[in-house]
Amino acid sequence: MSVYDVLAERGFLKQVSHEEEIRELLEKEKITFYIGFDPTADSLHVGHFIALMAMSHMQKAGHRPIVLLGGGTGMVGDPSGKDEMRKMLTPEFIAHNIACFKKQMSRFIDFSDDKAIMVNNADWLLDLNYIKLLREVGVHFSVNRMLTAECFKKRLERGLSFFEFNYMIMQAYDFWTLNKKYGCIMEMGGDDQWSNMLAGVELIRRKEQKPAFCMTCKLLTTSDGRKMGKTEKGALWLDPEKTSPYDFYQYWRNVDDSDVENCLALLTFLPMDEVRRLGSLKDSAINEAKKVLAYEVTKLVHGEEEAEKAKQAAEALFGGGGAMTDVPTVNLTAEQANAKLIDVLTAAKVFSSKREARQMVQQGGLYIGDTAVSDAEMQLSPEMFDADKSLLVRKGKKKYYRLLID
């Protein structure tokens, strides 16, 4: 089975520029391809993880990836899917984020022995001569056609700045540069990048009279079309300092039943026969599939040791066994062990405000152990803690915290 068939079977592929040519190419040759990552934050998130998994499948099949870090494009910002202009990032902020990305990337992609390349488009974009760019590249772009592109549609009614209008040209220029320098003939990325990616394909075909291709991957969504990867604290980050391995594990442990098979196919390397078997489980049995999903994804992102710790912590909460050391812990002083519960939880950022905490109590959503807290003014006492000076608190249906007296 070719890598094209692998990606199609697992559900990665959304749009393909020249399907028959690409299918034949990936069966017969080993190519160089790239995916771009703009450093808009100091960590990759689960949306990037989809792209990295697709890249990893390609690399395992013998194709060479280029990881393109957007030190240049990040100075402008991609308008795709945005209601308003992105915040302009400083060079220092971008440089810091790129350093963070580099550390995380090596967990998923093998950069040894030239098996993959990492480059920064700041190396060629920041020193571009504007007139030269217009003459070499701008002449190949139709403004009328650009205005029909999906990546601009959302912004045209509210206003699209000329600043952002250049993003498509910059991304096409990246592809052209990588084609000349490394023989890169394919761009991959999220489906929201389709218009930008096609622009690069057409630029290379016009200027170089050579074949170039692009394929987009599906965005990670639920079965009813909602975007996945959002938590009550924001994005689901790959950095353990921003999303703990336990919280990361729990996110996948609690996905909807209807999303389990899709997540297993996209986010793990389990054989598809096993993916389909697990995805077909019904009722309470589907929980076993969710445990496999949570463990496998956490292992890929954080390593086997952290995945095992998260699994043990979850079993301590839900199965009555295992260690609780990796459940999020709120350390208390002796004085706090006699304070109001909502004061302690608000101070620990479990709640953003006391008002939110009181609302949760009123709605019956705050628990000590299995008992709902009925009084927002309830006072803690040392007698409520177990022999390990530990007390389990639940916020809502799924969020657990361990209060621990130092």
Residues classed as catalytic: 40, 45, 48, 82, 86, 171, 192, 227, 230-231
CA atoms of 162 and 74, how far apart (whole Å): 16
Q: What is the Cα–Cα distance from 197 to 174, expressed in whole angstroms?
A: 10
Q: Which two tokens stand for residue 260?
A: 């389990």
Nearest to 175 by CA among 337, 62, 36: 36
Contact at 8 Å (CB) between 260 and 279?
yes
> Are the CB atoms for 65 and 110 separated by under 8 Å?
no
